[in-house]
């Protein structure tokens, strides 16, 4: 019997602008996971940290923006080498700050949800991201 992987909670922000575009960040080429892929900002929670505080911290660290959470985008689950990741994805608006990238990312772009599929998205997250875009376009 193989040892099961522990679960790990991650958070992602689908930051939408007034035109319905979402912010994507491109991971640096030297990243251990998903180099060169475009993703929504976010990351792992610190021990004892609430998901909203963790998401606000991660987004501020990764791209310099403050968040105003507006609702639930959904959740996804995927395998990583050391853990089974459950990612809680929240819809948000930028609530101040200036867009600037950390060393984890090398580019940022505001992308129409209908054009997400044209970007290199992380394999385990791609299906969820495209499904979210499709669901959002039918409700807009």
Domain coverage including residue 52: 7-139
Q: Into how many domains does the chain fold? A: 1
Does the residue 98 lie in any domain?
yes
- The strand ranges marked E within the chain are 7-15, 21-27, 38-39, 42-44, 65-79, 84-97, 105-112
Split at pLDDT 50, 70, 90, the class of 140 is low
Structure pTM? 0.91
Split at pLDDT 50, 70, 90, the class of 61 is very high
Split at pLDDT 50, 70, 90, the class of 1 is very low
Residue 116 near residue 129, CB atoms below 8 Å: yes
Does the residue 132 lie in any domain?
yes
Task: State the CATH number of the domain containing residue 60.
Answer: 3.90.79.10
Does the residue 2 lie in any domain?
no
């Amino acid at each position: 019997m193989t040892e099961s992987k522990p679960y790990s909670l991650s958070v992602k922000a689908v930051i939408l602008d007034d035109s319905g575009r979402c912010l994507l960040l491109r991971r640096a080429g030297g990243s251990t996971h998903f180099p060169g892929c475009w993703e929504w900002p976010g990351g792992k929670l610190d021990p004892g940290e609430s998901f909203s505080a963790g998401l606000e911290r991660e987004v501020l660290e990764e791209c310099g923006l403050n968040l105003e959470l507006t609702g639930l985008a959904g959740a996804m689950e995927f395998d990583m080498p050391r853990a089974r990741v459950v990612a809680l994805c929240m819809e948000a608006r930028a609530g101040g700050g200036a867009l600037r990238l950390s060393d984890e990312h090398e580019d940022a772009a505001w992308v129409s949800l209908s054009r997400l599929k044209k970007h290199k998205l992380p394999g385990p997250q791609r299906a969820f991201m495209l499904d979210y875009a499709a669901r959002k376009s039918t409700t807009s």
